[in-house]
Structure 1
Amino acid sequence: MNTYRAASHYSSVKVQSSVVDASPHRLIQMLFEGALERIAQAKGAMQQNQIARKGELLSKAINIVAGLQGSLDDKQGGELGADLDSLYDYIIRRLTQANYENDPAMLDECGRLLGELKGAWDGIGDRA
């Protein structure tokens, strides 16, 4: 148990220092990575019938996607911003539905969509 707590603490400190040192572009990358990781973990929990764990992980993924959605700039985003807002809303609804229906295919769809967005974001580099 002490080893687990020490590893967890180390991981927390590492993440906190990464966030402090990260550029705004890197922070968005980290959010995408976090959402994708939670979705993958939730799928594993779903397959192992760990209902409470699945719900916790999907709640975290939904909160991350909502954070991405909240970071959109309505004034400068134009049509692209509106499209992203709609896409994030769709992903949030699908994650919620996947949790309710226990459907791993919906998680795969959300992971694929977020993966494509992350790939595009990665492609623009720190120019963002």
Structure 2
Amino acid sequence: MYQKGINQYRQVGVKDQIATADPHGVTQILMQTALENLAVAKGCLERNDMANKGKSIGKATSIIASLKDSLDHERGGEIAANLDNLYAYMLELLSEASVSNKAELVADVMDIFLPIKSAWDQIPESAKQDAYQRS
């Protein structure tokens, strides 16, 4: 019961953050949420908690697919193409992890995803503002 209350509070907090975030901030929230779900999925696999593994992998997969689908290939050029390939590869690994129940595959996705999130977090404010003005 206590955990359910914490989860509901967390969901409200994320909804509030998204409601007030700019597009860059929304992407940061999505990336962080995906990483959190990947960590949960990895832990579930290590504990043989298959029911919760499926939920966490499903949430992370959904977020990564959304990030992949939102890439602007026209303006993003080679970076967007590279991210598209990385996201597709991560989705393949997650699919394989879901079937094979290998925590190492989820860890591999996290290892790929962390530098992407880190780079996103380091985008200077001036570059974000310039991108919003061009949209």
The two structures have a TM-score, normalised by structure 1, of 0.91
Alignment-derived partner of residue 120 in structure 2: 121
Counterpart of 1:26 in structure 2 is 25
* Structure 2 equivalent of residue 75 of structure 1: 74
- For 1:84, the equivalent position in structure 2 comes to 83
SS in 2 for 1:25: helix
Structure 1 partner of 2:34: 35
Deviation of 1:5 (Å)? 4.6
Q: Aligned letter for 2:58?
A: S
Query: Relative contact order (alpha carbons < 8 A, sep ≥ 6): 1 or 2 greater?
Result: 1
Deviation at residue 119 of structure 1 after TM alignment:
0.7
| Contact kept? 1:42, 1:53, Cα under 8 Å | yes
CA shift at 1:9, angstroms? 3.1
What displacement does 1:30 show?
A: 0.8
Q: Which runs of 5+ in 2 are unaligned?
A: 129-135
Which runs of no fewer than 5 residues in structure 1 stay unpaired? none
Counterpart Cα distance in 2 of 1:124 and 1:115: 15
Cα distance, 1:4 vs. partner?
A: 4.6
- Whole-Å Cα distance in 2 between the matches of residues 88 and 58 of structure 1? 14
The percent identity for this pair of structures is: 35
